Structure 1
């Protein structure tokens, strides 16, 4: 979903903002840092990491991959996940019921991971579903909203677990499967960490603050070394009907008087009325941990990782075996976070590490102009994070992570999205864009965010001194996205190779390739400064040289998101989200195929998010 929230315009003074630096100076600094990045240590530059011929820019309603590669579509929205005794077929008129949707793959696939069952021949695909398009979810779209429509749209959110296997060179979804599972906006969730049971999480329906119904607007994801899936609750605030007069905390999290919830869940599910239940929004915006191998397990909201419009949760280990999680917050002027666990990862999988993410230190990033930075701990009692400043305890610091980060003077970023870590220890974050930076009431440019009216975005990266738990780090821009043919200099970028705009998804594969996925919104795709970039794409980058090659272009109106592979690196899975999305994220239910008819191309069909399987003809490593 294209974020609509901007709750931190930055009118307050910022101790680290470089508003006196000219745009020309900051762009030159970014280019110098990029040149330094090309000399990063690692694989010798005379051994090419990227071996495929790049594909051209395209506006076609299809998936384009390089010569010698094949694609296969599996697991589209509405297909059954494989629950025994509940496998309703997809209705092409979108007439499936709420109960049927709860047994089918959700809408708008996003974060994705392959968990092996039998090497590279079979496994579990776990994916989350970011949001729904009511104009395509129902035969008559948004008209006649009722309780059943609310239930169906809630059932189309959440997470799907499906079993897949390779048979004779083709992949298929196993149905039925004992692993199959749907997690939706009404699935019971447990709460772990310092905010569990906190007064700010208590409601009339849950006076203990220990049991939350559902997860939704799940964007990006991560995995843990102990074999669990992390799903990120992103633009959750738009699902709540604001009170008549929101208080300061509610306003800081995006609730505005007079605005309407994106969907009308509050009409038939009163917990989504923030005026009647002011603590309900505090129960969302968390990273949720799921054990994909145990369909009876309860998902857990890990509050020690902080509350945010989360997108991305990349986990790595310190040398002594503790978990480090890097997280972005996809909203204008918000922050980059890092969590370091107190304890070491133990052998024994999910059960042995059942509470590992409940104890540790959450920090927020500050990027300084000299290419250095620091992690600022969000710890109650340290610095300004005291009761006198509105933080009664650690739980309140975590619920109000934005306000805590404001006080600490963290760097306000251009919409941090996915994170990734390469084989040399550099951590990356995609900053997708911030078209209002530098305008009235918005922060000016700084070293980390060097462009006003930043329509194209950038990829920033950093490396801690010593280990991933280091307090200070060095940073640079891996690339400022853009089109070299753009008229405005600030929209041209510093990419070495194929142009792209609005980076979003990031993933580093087993060979060390950095995969970059783009998300130009439907309102700008093919227009203005984005006119020359075609449909959204996936590109492969060499972290050592900075070379970028376009590997895949998606169908009309879609976002490319989610990337994972089998252990042998010979099968890749990606997600195509919201093909056929119309301008302004709206469609016409009377003309569902107006903008796209991918993937089925049926005369009576409608566009559906789906997973694409990518392989090399005759075998071979993807990208080589």
Structure 2
């Protein structure tokens, strides 16, 4: 989600060390040649490190230049096709309302259409690489595009339509003669919105802090919202992550300490849902806030299944949930929290994954241990368990039980001494066991009430971001880790040293989305805020882009540039590697983040380019013209 950096949530006032206080890029960055050999030697016991040096190049395409066109740019020999834009029918049986380019679709029609602002996406093959299900998030909405008159004449119907444009879409897609299309109708088509009934699973289910007047048992909730990054489980389900949920709630005059730690303020973030949906009034229903900020599990192969909020994975402004397996078959879920100075988490399941798909593993993510990361200055670190009764996580410190530890994951992590990070977002794992995490930026570094700068903290006013990586000791469930920086993003032509970075290849800033394909290419997507794009440190970087990295050599090439005002997000592909799906989010977004309903095409008219059109988030299908494997 693009953000005005000056208004981002920043509620961590703990005295925990930040990543900058323990980081020395001269030692922590991916090194090469003789220096690389010396650096990797102490990590040899972790396995797989030797693969970082040598090997044939993975990248066979010619880089595309920085761009500012209102179009998609891909390398020579590649083609890009747009499918499933916001407002197109998802393919529900008997329900196929067409998109109205003047923004006049009703709430009921939006409930049967693709949601707004596409984000995390995964492909579930049905017929090999020829057809399957695409499941994707819809993070937030722009009232200047969603309605004919924007937020004027505010009403309950507008709230309902806004809620219907959030959530998740499940669509069936198929390929014929090299082109992909959405199958309509489809028995798997589904829309999950901010009003869809959901169950609450795990230790926080039924907890006193989860109970409301509408749900006195604390085990059911309506909807999911601000769904950002996502994950795919080995048993075939989809994990959708609730990120900036606090913006939807209208806070009381004086939020309490718990509410402040989650960024709640008087009023809301401009969504105005509380005016017509009382549950978003945190002054009247304070526990409703606790029912958001979770990872939600969805079974796309069962359209009648109930989504479940998995509270054992902890509560956070979740950016994503990436699943790895231990050698013993247990599931490990890595998660970042996209807020300034927040944390990186991993959950380790108690039980191994069972054969039999979603049904056999229906409660796997309800039992296990959540951990938070501490990165130490010596290049090592620890995973700190968030377990009630261990260390400071006691009733005396405000944690009555395990459910409360998970509801208050931030407060528990504060007490454990976790490392405050610079907006940890997407996470992915490569074949060697390295876990990569984008740290998008943090322009508050050294700001009021935050850690100061010193010799070990050279990235003052971190506008460019970085990608950190680590290996857990022995296996993904290990409690110790070794870490370094894979790359410090930046522009070598920048006059400010802190913004130059050390990219080996094409310059970029603000890394966000990550995906490792079957060949081992690390795909990097950027999210430069529209309020900062083309200015200051970002002046020479053009529009947001997608790049490919050979993790063995550190080489990075620009693969795609997006249209005006957009973010590049979400990446997945077919099993044969010959089709890639990505999402273009919020094309046309203005620096104020809200479009002018009287002039919706002021910044972008992608993808339709109609005289009466408006910009629409959409999925882009990328293929090689010769039918080859993507990236070669």
Bin for the TM-score computed over the shorter chain = over 0.9
Question: Which residue does 1:408 correspond to in 2?
Answer: 416
**2:23 corresponds to 1:13:** no
Question: Which residue does 2:538 correspond to in 1?
Answer: 530
**2:316 corresponds to 1:318:** no
Question: Which residue does 1:250 correspond to in 2?
Answer: 259
CA positional deviation for 1:13: 3.0
Question: Which residue does 1:361 correspond to in 2?
Answer: 369
Question: Which residue does 2:146 correspond to in 1?
Answer: 137
Cα distance in 2 for residues equivalent to 1:32 and 1:417: 20
Report runs of 4+ in structure 1 exceeding 4 Å deviation.
Answer: 15-19, 32-35, 445-450
Residues 74-473 of structure 1 aligned to structure 2 (within 5 Å)? 74-257=83-266, 259-444=267-452, 451-473=459-481
Cα distance in 2 for residues equivalent to 1:229 and 1:446: 42
CA positional deviation for 1:261: 3.4
Question: Which residue does 2:25 correspond to in 1?
Answer: 27
CA positional deviation for 1:543: 1.0
Question: Which residue does 2:561 correspond to in 1?
Answer: 553
Cα distance in 1 for residues equivalent to 2:627 and 2:310: 40
SS in 1 for 2:108: helix
Distance 1:530 1:342, change over 3 A: same
CA contact (8 A) 2:330 2:353 kept: yes
Cα distance in 1 for residues equivalent to 2:208 and 2:348: 25
SS in 2 for 1:521: coil
Residues 544-623 of structure 1 aligned to structure 2 (within 5 Å)? 544-623=552-631
CA contact (8 A) 2:242 2:294 kept: yes
CA contact (8 A) 1:501 1:533 kept: yes
CA contact (8 A) 2:353 2:364 kept: yes
CA contact (8 A) 1:17 1:446 kept: no
Cα distance in 1 for residues equivalent to 2:19 and 2:146: 44
CA contact (8 A) 1:215 1:233 kept: yes
- RMSD over aligned Cα, in angstroms? 1.6
Residue-by-residue CA offset, 1:375-426 (whole Å, 9 max, x unaligned) = 0000000000000000000000000000000000000000010000011000
Cα distance in 1 for residues equivalent to 2:19 and 2:601: 47
SS in 2 for 1:311: coil
Cα distance in 1 for residues equivalent to 2:17 and 2:80: 50
CA positional deviation for 1:447: 9.9
Distance 1:446 1:514, change over 3 A: farther
Cα distance in 1 for residues equivalent to 2:153 and 2:20: 51
CA positional deviation for 1:47: 1.0
Cα distance in 2 for residues equivalent to 1:441 and 1:279: 29
Residue-by-residue CA offset, 1:291-320 (whole Å, 9 max, x unaligned) = 000000000000000000000110010000
CA contact (8 A) 1:219 1:310 kept: yes
SS in 1 for 2:603: coil
Cα distance in 2 for residues equivalent to 1:2 and 1:283: 24
Distance 1:150 1:375, change over 3 A: same
Number of equivalences: 618
CA positional deviation for 1:167: 1.0
Cα distance in 2 for residues equivalent to 1:296 and 1:586: 35
Residue-by-residue CA offset, 1:226-259 (whole Å, 9 max, x unaligned) = 00000000000000000111100000000123x4
CA positional deviation for 1:448: 9.6
CA contact (8 A) 1:101 1:152 kept: yes
Cα distance in 2 for residues equivalent to 1:133 and 1:146: 16
Unpaired stretches in structure 2, ≥5 consecutive residues: 41-48
Cα distance in 1 for residues equivalent to 2:107 and 2:143: 13
SS in 2 for 1:200: helix
CA positional deviation for 1:374: 0.4
Unpaired stretches in structure 1, ≥5 consecutive residues: none
CA contact (8 A) 1:418 1:504 kept: yes
From 516, 519, 522, give the equivalent of 2:524. 516
Distance 1:174 1:476, change over 3 A: same
CA positional deviation for 1:451: 1.6
Cα distance in 1 for residues equivalent to 2:456 and 2:244: 24
Distance 1:364 1:374, change over 3 A: same
Distance 1:405 1:448, change over 3 A: farther
SS in 1 for 2:355: coil
Cα distance in 1 for residues equivalent to 2:243 and 2:80: 30
Cα distance in 1 for residues equivalent to 2:451 and 2:137: 33
Distance 1:152 1:555, change over 3 A: same
CA contact (8 A) 2:513 2:524 kept: yes
CA positional deviation for 1:445: 5.2
